[in-house]
Amino acid sequence: MSLLGKLFGRKSATEEKARADALFDRGEHGDAKLVYERALDACTPADAALLEPCRARVIECCDQIARKRIAESERLAREGADDLAENELEHARQTAKSPELLAEIEKRIENLVRREAREHAIADQRELDDDERYDLIAGSFELEQADEYAAAGDDVRRALLAVHSGDHAAALPLLEQAAKDAASPRYLWLEVGRARLLCGDVPGGRGALEAFLSKLAPEEGGDARLSAHIELAAIAHEAGDVEGAIAQHQAALEALPDDPRPYLALARYLRKAELPEEALEVLEGALSALDTDKPVLAIIIEQGLAQAENGNDGAAIERLEKAVSMLTAQQHRDLPPELATKLAELQERAGNKGRALDLFALLAEGSDIANRMTYHRQMGRLFAELGHGTEARRALQRALELAPEGSPARGDIERALAAIP
């Protein structure tokens, strides 16, 4: 050893390796790794025989540290802490050196994310009992509407539950009989109209909805009135009567002049009727009519969507990002799907793939269960395009777990997984 080495306490490669071997034998693999690395740094040409054994021991130490992470991950997974378990596996993946152990860790991560996706889907599909379902249905009733249905008896409750279960044919006769038996039916005609439409009786449904509206005083009806006008507008649109559809929306505006929802409903209709400029005019009118200094979130969203339909990508991004900022400022991360998917499309088109990825990640964690597979699939595509192979594989594995057996999407996802290097 040189004079400087002796003065400053530096050890020879042989001494460092001996100390590292002792640490390794005691199972102190983290410290052993550091000392083996010091041994490698201390090697001189005369110590060439120590190089390979020390390098092999560094790899073995890394693998042993990773195995401890794997064991901790298993413990956390047994306790239901899947996020923490996945985090431990990620650390193990970053630490492990041998190809065999890396492959094992990737398999464990894949199995864990598949299990998470399955459990998430199962939890989201929990069925409510009849009382819970009816409470949800009745949550938007007007006070007079709830009283009328309660007075009509249990058949109306059963009918409404049947409608929301998709059994429209069973519900219709119960509702028609309830309307016939009631002394002064009003809101019951709304339910009859809806049920008739769901059973394919368009003329009968339109007649019942018109009967409902005719029985309301000018300031009555609230949500129910608005929904009847929107249903009648949809009937007119299906018949090719755009002017008739707009007239129904205008009638809702006149009945509810201080409510932003009729403006929004008309703007949405105009946008979907490929009249985005007219939709933007309605929204500007809404801001004037409502006379508020505070930004109205729903109007900002609709402005962004209308600007996108009008081909004004920059203005659309500005409006939609403002809406996202307003939502997240309120700790609301469950973004409306139409908002987030359109913004992701616009941001990707503008070259901001990372932002598009963030939006799909939020959607994948949100309440839009029906499209969760699509969101994970989009995340996988974007991760792959951005060069993040591990994350891309994980997102696509989640998508695969949610894809129906035998579906075309499943085959596409499998091919996308196989294409990741």
Tens-level pLDDT at each residue, the chain (421 residues): 443 344 334 688 898 999 999 999 998 998 899 899 989 988 988 888 989 999 999 999 999 999 999 998 888 877 767 777 888 888 898 889 888 898 889 888 877 776 666 566 545 545 667 888 888 777 778 888 989 999 998 999 999 999 888 899 999 999 999 999 999 999 999 999 999 999 999 999 999 999 999 999 877 888 889 999 999 999 999 999 999 999 999 999 888 887 888 988 999 999 988 999 999 999 988 887 776 656 688 889 999 999 999 999 999 999 999 999 998 887 888 899 999 999 999 999 999 999 999 999 999 988 888 899 999 999 999 999 999 999 999 999 999 989 888 889 999 999 999 999 8
30 shares its domain with 69: yes
200 shares its domain with 153: yes
188 shares its domain with 83: no
261 lies in some domain: no
What is the rounded CA–CA span in Å between residue 354 and residue 360? 10
Instruction: Enumerate residues 6+ apart whose C-beta is below 8 A from 293.
Output: none
How many CB atoms within 10 Å of residue 130? 11
Query: Do 189 and 211 form a contact (C-beta atoms < 8 A)?
Result: yes
* Residue 381, pLDDT score: 96
What is the rounded CA–CA span in Å between residue 51 and residue 44? 10
DSSP 370: G
Structural domain harbouring 14 = 3-124
Domain-terminating residue out of 256, 284, 317:
256
Q: Is the dihedral of CA 92, 94, 100, 104 positive or negative?
A: positive
What is the rounded CA–CA span in Å between residue 117 and residue 398? 6
* 3-state class (DSSP) for residue 273: coil
Token couple for 96:
């492990």
151 shares its domain with 230: yes
Structural domain count of the chain: 2
How many CB atoms within 10 Å of residue 294? 6
DSSP 46: G
CATH number at residue 187: 1.25.40.10
67 shares its domain with 38: yes
